[in-house]
Amino acid sequence: MSAIPSWRVGATVGARTPALAPDAEAQPGLRADGRLGVHYALTLARGEDAALKAALIGLEQTVELPRALLEADLAERMTGRVEAVCQTGSRAARVTLSYPIGAIGADLPQCLNLLFGNISLKPGIRIVGIDWPAALLDAFGGPGHGASGLRELTGAHGRPLLCTALKPMGLTARELARRCEAFARGGIDIIKDDHGLADQPAAPFAERLARCREAVERANAGAGTRALYFPNVTAPARELPHRLDAAKAAGCRGVLISPWLVGLDTLRFIRDDYGLAMLAHPALTGSLFGRGAGMAPELVLGDLFRLAGADAVIYPNTGGRFDFSGAVCARLNRHLRRPLGALRASLPTPAGGMSVQSAAEWARRYGPDTMLLIGGSLYAQGDLAAGAAALRRAVEEAAP
């Protein structure tokens, strides 16, 4: 916050506000005093007071009652405490609140609710930072495999992993499996279903799973590669365990999942009950990333996806057909990789409009602890195995 032109820098509110932010001494993203710290960027309506808005957030996200109806002890114990109010413009402020873990317990959905449940319905509130207490990191647990686990599974070391998507929907399972085999032979590490492949009639889940697993095994046996096929298990609540059982029975080591379509905590369930690696897709999260309201992408696709157990996280790379900036991508990479308690690092997986030609450049720019997801550009090569092999060579040559 130090770079922000401020009128009331560090103005603090409330009797028990510590003089120094408790996270100042700790790892970035960690908080040492056992509370959950949340930093908000507020856009203020005409005449709206930043400190008051901050205090109302602290009530809305916990007790949902006006302060006047609360006993003093309960208000102190349970509500969000305003720790800093920093006016950053005539209609803008940064504020920091902290919450007791007792307002969350150990449930991830309730953590999400406390972070942005009701206030998602209010204007001018954007979460721009979260400082996690050890208790929540322990409760949520993070990746079961992580970046290093994915390297073990694929045998890919010292370079970015390569990923592609089976598409388009509308092809038969047999046709998708043929593509899967070609990609595996060419040296792609992880071949995932396009995230729109669910259980449609053209390529039903069970048949697609069987054929693609068989295809990837055949390619690995023939070419000496160690490609993995990750089926998309994003599914109705009742079906999800069956698809996971099937994926595991078929010998899959990992799956693709869209957390926002099925609930973020589904990741923990898959990690704990199935032990499968997970590549997480950002479908439906985009509405959170507005300028004046929502949550910063590095907190949703970075912190939250990682805490819930994503071993790798797909995000729309800058310069592609979506509009994440280079700065956002850099922050996302950092949040997925940075030391955070005892959590394993996740593998940032930029996607969306990168090309075979630009892959080496992205490999150099993002470094080896990355997975490059390239779809359309590979399909444009015509010969998929040759295209994949060219991509693999380019990325290997770019490795340090």
Give the separation between CA 248 and CA 5, rounded to whole angstroms: 54
**Among 269, 341, 284, 276, which residue's Cα sits nearest to residue 312?**
276
231 touches a second copy by CB under 8 A: no
268 binds a second copy (CB under 8 A): yes
User: Nearer to a second copy by C-beta: 117 or 367?
Assistant: 117
Q: Which of 227, 235, 340, 389 binds a second copy (CB under 8 A)?
A: 235
Binding mask 163-182 for a second copy (x = CB under 8 A): --x-xxxxx-----------
- Which of these ranges, 105-113, 216-224, 341-349, 389-397, lies near a second copy under the rule CB under 8 A? 105-113
The phi, psi pair for 94, rounded to 5°, reads -110, 135
Q: Provide, rounded to whole angstroms, the least separation between the CB of residue 71 and a second copy.
A: 9
Overall residue count recorded for the chain in this entry: 400
Measured from the Cβ of residue 261, the count of other Cβ atoms closer than 10 Å reads 15
Which residues between 240 and 259 bind a second copy (CB under 8 A)? 258
Question: Does 236 contact a second copy by CB under 8 A?
Answer: yes
**By the rule CB under 8 A, 184 interacts with a second copy:** no
Distance CA 34, CA 132 (A): 8
CB of 194 to a second copy, least distance (A): 6
Q: Interacting stretch for a second copy, rule CB under 8 A, among 31-39, 46-54, 55-63, 354-362? A: 55-63
Distance CA 88, CA 86 (A): 6
Residues 121-160 that bind a second copy (CB under 8 A): 121-123
Instruction: Find the binding residues for a second copy in span 185-204 (CB under 8 A).
Output: 194-196, 198-202
β-bridge pairing 347-351 and 294-295 = unpaired
Smallest gap from Cβ 87 to a second copy, in A, equals 23
The token duo for 395 is 């990325």
DSSP, res 155? T
DSSP lists the bridge partners of residue 351 as 316
d(CA 117, CA 61): 7
CB of 10 to a second copy, least distance (A): 29
| Alpha carbon separation from 380 to 137, 139, 179, 273 (Å, rounded) | 43, 44, 13, 39
The yes or no reply on residue 220 touching a second copy (CB under 8 A) is no
Smallest CA-to-CA distance from 388 within 307, 377, 135, 398 is with 377
- The CA–CA distances, whole Å, from 318 to 5, 268, 282, 349, 392 equal 28, 29, 15, 12, 21
106 binds a second copy (CB under 8 A): yes
Question: Per rule CB under 8 A, is residue 375 in the interface with a second copy?
Answer: yes
60-99 positions binding a second copy, by CB under 8 A? 60-66, 69-70, 74, 77-78
Q: Count interface residues toward a second copy (CB under 8 A).
A: 83
